Amino acid sequence: MPIMDWTDDLSVGVTEIDNQHKRLIELINKLHDAMKAGQGKQMLETTLQELAAYTVYHFQAEEKYMVEYNYPRYHAHKIEHDAFVKKVTDFQKDFVDNRLGLTLDLMKFLKDWVNNHIKSTDKQYTALFNKSGLV
C-alpha cells in the first residue's frame, strides 16, 4: 500500500509538470515499500540517484517556463529548487558516510516537499502557465 497517493490537490494544472510530480510520488512510494520490506538501505542509493536525475529534468522544465512567461516569483522559486538540490546532495554524502536513520530522514523530507512546495509554491504559477497556453 502506498504511503502517498496522487490526488487532485497536487495538480498544478499542467500535464507535463503533473506527470513529473507523479514520478516523485512513485519514488517516495518505492522507497517506502523497500523500507517496509526491510530493504530501505539497499534501495536508498538507487532512490538518491533517481532523485538527483529527477531534480535536473523537473526543475529545468519548471524554470524554463517561469523564465519564458516572466513568472514574477521566479527567483524565490529557484531558491527553493536550489535548496532541494543541495539537500539531495547532502543526503548522498550522508549515504556514503553510512549515516544511521538516513532513510527515514529522506522520507520525511520528500513528504514535506510534496505537502509544502508542490501544494502551495508550485500552484502559484498555475494561472500564468495556463494563460500562456500550458495545460
Contact 117, 80 (CB under 8 A): yes
User: Tell me, what amino acid is at 60?
Assistant: Q
* Predicted confidence (pLDDT) at residue 105 exceeds the cutoff of 90: yes
Can you say whether residue 101 is alpha, beta or left, with left for phi > 0 and alpha for psi between -120 and 50 degrees? Answer: left
Give the percent of the chain with pLDDT over 90.
Answer: 80
Q: Could you tell me the pTM of the whole model?
A: 0.92
Residue entry with cell 521566479 = 74
Whether the predicted pLDDT of 42 surpasses 90: no
Instruction: Write down all domains in the chain, each with its CATH number in brackets.
Output: 13-131 (1.20.120.50)
For residue 116, the model assigns a pLDDT of 94
Asked whether 18 and 11 are in contact (CB, 8 A), the reply is yes
Per-residue pLDDT band for 34 (boundaries 50, 70, 90) equals: confident
**pLDDT at residue 28 in the model:** 92
